Copies of this chain bind each other. A is one copy, B any other.
């Protein structure tokens, strides 16, 4: 690859002039400017991003670490981040943590060591508290995405999980459902914990009997599946006043499998709703009532906060909560009262 030196030689100018025409960083005579541009075209010169970043101590790139960019919700967040980053001329470096603390740590360090200007982080369920402390002490601009921690002094972006769950359950309760089974999942994940809390809020609001509600939480999805099957076997929460709510897509998959095995059909025997949902929800039979994250917008918002933080490292940190919409579909269609 050609370097500035060769371009400068060919154009008969100094490398400093070349640098300035490339970056538009000072006035240069149209003639010399043209000579430089021609030389660039002739040599196929490209700026070396590494050398440039090293000299400027700034790379115009940001990193994002998510547990799995293949999960629909994260995929959309990544799309939003890409969109917003491109708009600001930032290159995006993406890494998966696979929901594993060690891989998460490696990914963060790999990104930091490459001198990204900032980091967007959707922490793994088992994420070590240390990692976030490191970020704080080194002062690397960081925004926490989707999985947010209220006690941490970071910029954060998430959906209004608690309120959405509350609204969902309130809606179902207002249509006569009195008995719920919430498959809450791994409540070490803040989003899932928030959804669980929203469920409790709603139960209280609607004055449902606590004894009629089942909440299944746990770290291992296989255990959760077992617990759910047992719950179904005990006859909870059927009887046509029951509803099952899955707090995430993997949990929904597990729940639907168990329901089908138990010979229960939706919404005839039991109502069903989920958060996040599947790639092609319209293809499911019945179509599933789903609380949808504004994932793309969350990604955009994260980049916005990050860019501001990079520009002004000392401003107070902000948390953005985005509204989730509830798509009511057939799986919770009101039974005849």
Interface bits A69-85 vs B (CB < 8 Å: 1, else 0) = 11010111011001000
Partner of A109, one of B46, B68, B96, B278: B46
Which residue among A47, A93, A96, A285 has the maximum number of chain B CB atoms within 10 Å of its CB?
Answer: A93
A120 to chain B, nearest CB (A): 14
- Report if A187 contacts B (CB, 8 A): no
Whole-angstrom distance between the alpha carbons of A51 and B113 in the complex? Answer: 10
Is A138 on the interface with B (CB-CB < 8 A)?
A: yes
Encode A238-257 as 1/0 by CB contact (under 8 A) with B: 00000000000000010011
The reply on A43 being an interface residue by CB < 8 A is no
Do A46 and B115 have beta carbons less than 8 Å apart?
A: no
Inter-chain CA distance A288–B49, complex, in Å, is: 47
Task: Tell me, yes or no, whether A110 is within 8 Å of chain B by CB.
Answer: yes
Across-interface contacts of A253 in B (CB, < 8 A) = 280, 283
**By the criterion of a CB under 8 Å from any partner CB, how many residues of chain A are at the interface?**
48
Given contacts A95-B94, A138-B1, A280-B253, contact A114 B49 (CB under 8 A): yes
- Picked from B46, B138, B278, the residue with its CB within 8 Å of the CB of A113 is B46
Q: Mark A127-150, 1 if CB is under 8 A from B, else 0.
A: 000000000001000000000000
CA distance A70 to B68 in the complex (A): 9
The answer on a CB contact under 8 Å between A50 and B96 is: no
Distance in angstroms from A272 CB to nearest chain B CB is 12
A222 within 8 A of B: no
A189 shortest CB reach to chain B, Å: 20
Residues of the B chain whose Cβ atoms lie less than 8 Å from the Cβ of A72: 70, 279
Q: Counting CB contacts under 8 A, is A112 at the interface?
A: yes
Q: Which residues of A contact B (CB under 8 A)?
A: 1, 46-51, 53-54, 59, 61, 68-70, 72, 74-76, 78-79, 82, 86, 91-96, 98, 103, 106, 109-110, 112-115, 138, 253, 256-257, 278-280, 282-285
